[in-house]
């Protein structure tokens, strides 16, 4: 665990995981021992209360209850996976929204490593963990853009970034300077939202169009996000509209959480390509290659019914993967 020396985002992620993977209420003393070692009583109380409120503000239902049903002892804390409903947004202006991003990008190497390390250390402390509780994260969606890590970390550190960017239809790149406010997934694409310091205006940049490596171009903590900034609303307002069309897919029961959240309609208990599980029909109000890229991450849990364009792309990509592995 990162403890008091770790970044706030890491501490919040650790707290969420600790409360989520346990089958019973955990005492405040136990939380303090593992996540907040070496802190004074006053400092711990203040930080623990702030961290709980941060998680609750993101929709994390922290439940308070008795550790021993037969005694009126110190209350304990837990998060019930069946009641957890985190935001669809990857990041908000507040650093704590790393939790929201963790639910959407669990397969990304840094977050997967952080999660594994958190669970490992909990087990080392003798904490009984239920790793199946992490299934709510739906570990299917990845962030493959090379610049993702730089923008991800810059939003947490409030560090300006410089990068080469090629706009749609352009043949040349331009150098851009940004104070990133947050990273968000919108219409199957990753965007960074922030203040373009060359133009003095808020801008949104699609990460797949960043050329080469993005570079830090300033000191951490050198700017603040404007109060009340809604990163998702900004991305939806400034980014190009989603591609027209509809994609219809069959999704195994209890799989495809992000797809279901984005769906315009879900039909349950339909005939699927096999009988190993039940299937649902999910309709998405978008189409094209980027939808196909997203669906690839679900493997055998998703079957594309229409359109032919998306199904063809998925089949070709899967054949290419099989060809490389054979």
CA 247 to CA 68: how far, in whole Å?
A: 50
Q: Give me the pLDDT at residue 135, please.
A: 47
Three-class DSSP category at 102: helix
More confident residue, 216 or 129: 216
Statement: residue 212 has pLDDT above 70: yes
263 pLDDT band, cuts 50/70/90, is confident
Q: What's the whole-model pTM score?
A: 0.46
Statement: residue 103 has pLDDT above 50: no
CA 90 to CA 143: how far, in whole Å?
A: 11
Beta strands in 217-321 (DSSP E): 247-252, 265-270, 279-284, 302-306
- Long-range contact list for 210-213, CB < 8 A, 24+ apart? 210/145, 210/146, 210/147, 210/163, 210/164, 210/165, 211/163, 211/164, 211/165, 211/166, 211/173, 212/163, 212/164, 213/146, 213/147, 213/150, 213/163
Beta bridge partners of 118: none
Average pLDDT of the residues of the chain: 75
Q: Where are the domains of the chain?
A: 3-87+103-136, 148-238, 247-325
Contact predicate 124/38, CB 8 Å: no
The CATH architecture to which 148-238 belongs is: Roll (2.30)
Q: Phi/psi of residue 243, each to 5°? A: -60, 145
More confident residue, 189 or 197: 197
Statement: residue 290 has pLDDT above 80: no
More confident residue, 59 or 314: 314
Q: What is the pLDDT of residues 138-193, one digit of tens each?
A: 433 445 567 887 887 888 789 999 999 998 778 899 999 999 998 887 766 788 99
Statement: residue 275 has pLDDT above 60: yes
**CA separation, residue 177 to residues 34, 75, 236, 307 (Å):** 40, 49, 21, 39
Q: Which of 15-19, 21-25, 266-270 has the lowest mean pLDDT?
A: 21-25
Q: What is the pLDDT of residues 61-98, one digit of tens each?
A: 788 877 655 555 667 888 876 555 444 433 333 333 33
Q: Give me the pLDDT at residue 84, please.
A: 58
More confident residue, 82 or 292: 292
- What is the DSSP annotation of 33-77? HHHSTT--HHHHHHHHHHHHHHHHHTT--EEEEESSTTS---EEE
Contact predicate 210/147, CB 8 Å: yes
Check residue 24 and report its DSSP letter: S
Identify the CATH number of the domain defined by range 3-87+103-136. Answer: 1.10.10
Task: Tell which phi-psi region holds residue 235, choosing left (phi > 0), alpha (psi between -120 and 50) or beta.
Answer: alpha
CA 165 to CA 185: how far, in whole Å?
A: 18
Nearest CA to 142 out of 32, 319, 271, 297 is that of: 297
Residue range 47-65: mean pLDDT, rounded: 78
Q: Give me the pLDDT at residue 119, please.
A: 59
52 pLDDT band, cuts 50/70/90, is confident
**Assigned token pair, 194:** 């922030």
CA 326 to CA 321: how far, in whole Å?
A: 9
CA 35 to CA 52: how far, in whole Å?
A: 13
Q: Give me the pLDDT at residue 86, please.
A: 42
Contact predicate 295/302, CB 8 Å: yes
Three-class DSSP category at 84: coil
More confident residue, 81 or 295: 295
Q: Which of 2-11, 31-40, 99-108 has the lowest mean pLDDT?
A: 99-108
The CB density around residue 23, as the number of other CB atoms within 10 Å, is: 9
Residue range 248-277: mean pLDDT, rounded: 87
Q: Which of 23-27, 97-101, 184-188 has the lowest mean pLDDT?
A: 97-101
Statement: residue 115 has pLDDT above 60: no
Residue written as tokens 């970044």? 7
Beta bridge partners of 267: 281
- What is the DSSP annotation of 148-191? HHHHHHHHHHT--EEEEE--TT-SS-EEEEEEEEEEEEETTEEE
More confident residue, 60 or 219: 219
């Amino acid at each position: 665990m990162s403890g008091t020396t770790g970044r706030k985002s890491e501490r919040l992620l650790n707290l969420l995981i600790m409360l989520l993977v346990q089958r019973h209420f955990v005492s405040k003393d136990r939380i303090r021992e593992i996540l907040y070692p070496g802190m004074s009583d006053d400092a711990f109380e203040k930080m623990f209360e702030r961290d709980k409120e941060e998680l609750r503000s993101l929709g994390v239902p922290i439940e308070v209850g008795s550790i021993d049903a037969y005694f009126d002892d110190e209350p304990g804390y837990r998060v019930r996976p069946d009641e957890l409903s985190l935001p669809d947004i990857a990041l908000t202006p507040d650093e704590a929204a790393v939790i929201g991003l963790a639910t959407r990008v669990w397969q990304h190497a840094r977050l997967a490593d952080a999660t594994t390390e958190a669970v490992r250390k909990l087990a080392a402390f003798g904490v009984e963990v239920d790793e199946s509780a992490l299934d709510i994260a739906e570990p299917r969606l990845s962030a493959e853009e090379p610049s993702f890590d730089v923008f991800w970390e810059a939003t947490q550190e409030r560090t300006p970034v410089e990068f080469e960017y090629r706009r749609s239809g352009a043949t040349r790149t331009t150098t851009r300077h940004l104070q990133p406010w947050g990273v968000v997934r919108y219409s199957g694409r990753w965007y960074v939202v922030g203040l373009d310091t060359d133009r003095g205006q808020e801008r949104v940049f699609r990460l797949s169009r960043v050329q080469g490596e993005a570079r830090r171009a300033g000191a951490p903590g050198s700017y603040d996000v404007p109060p009340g900034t809604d990163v998702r609303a900004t991305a939806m307002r400034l980014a190009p509209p989603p591609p027209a069309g509809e994609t219809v897919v069959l999704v195994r029961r209890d799989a495809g959480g992000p797809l279901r959240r984005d769906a315009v309609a879900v039909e349950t208990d339909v005939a699927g390509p096999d009988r190993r599980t039940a299937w649902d029909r999910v309709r998405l109000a978008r189409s094209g290659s980027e939808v196909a890229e997203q669906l690839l991450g679900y493997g055998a849990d998703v079957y594309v019914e229409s359109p032919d364009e998306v199904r063809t792309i998925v089949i070709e990509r899967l054949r290419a993967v099989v060809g490389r592995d054979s």
